[in-house]
């Protein structure tokens, strides 16, 4: 039996797509940055650092403000965002041993059978892509 959270996420995504079936599908851009705080971009009130492109995207789109980092380091947090699961459920937990960080993604990474946000979007006819730091392992089929 699958955990409840991924099933609920899938159901909500499919419901949302079903209600928009006749309307033009929206473009979806997910920005995930290491060490970016809530108030670090202009759309959330920062007037010190100029972020005009991010602000423009936020002005014309949906802003999700309730995501909580699932871990204090990048790999497990990224896995949690993409899968909707706690990192330990997909083998992407991090740990310290002798004060050396072990990168669990180097051992193979996110299991190939793991359902991700991108795979759900692909099933709905979206083209997906990823730019930047991956750190989720070596199970990639494209070059």
User: 24 phi and psi, to 5 degrees?
Assistant: -65, 130
Confirm whether 74 is a catalytic residue.
Answer: yes
Burial of residue 100, with CB atoms counted within 10 A of its CB: 0-12 exposed, 13-18 middle, 19 or more buried:
exposed
Question: What is the DSSP-derived secondary structure letter of residue 72?
Answer: S
Euclidean distance between CA atoms 94 and 77, whole angstroms: 10
Confirm whether 135 is a catalytic residue.
Answer: yes
Q: Which of 9, 20, 43, 135 is catalytic?
A: 135
- Closest Cα to residue 115, out of 11, 38, 21, 41? 11
CB atoms within 10 A of CB 119: 12
Known catalytic residues are 74, 135
């Amino acid at each position: 039996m699958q955990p409840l959270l991924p099933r609920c996420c899938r159901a909500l995504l499919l419901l949302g797509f079903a209600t928009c079936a006749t309307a033009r599908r929206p473009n979806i851009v997910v920005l995930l940055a290491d060490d970016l705080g809530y108030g670090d971009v202009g759309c959330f009130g920062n007037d010190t650092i100029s972020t005009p492109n991010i602000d423009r995207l936020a002005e014309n789109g949906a802003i999700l403000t309730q995501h909580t980092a699932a871990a204090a380091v990048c790999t497990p947090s990224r896995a949690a965002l993409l899968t909707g699961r706690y990192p330990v459920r997909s083998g992407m937990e991090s740990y310290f041993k002798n004060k050396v960080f072990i990168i669990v993604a180097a051992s193979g990474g996110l299991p190939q059978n793991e359902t991700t946000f991108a795979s759900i979007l692909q099933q709905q006819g979206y083209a997906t892509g990823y730019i930047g730091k991956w750190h989720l392992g070596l199970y990639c089929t494209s070059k």
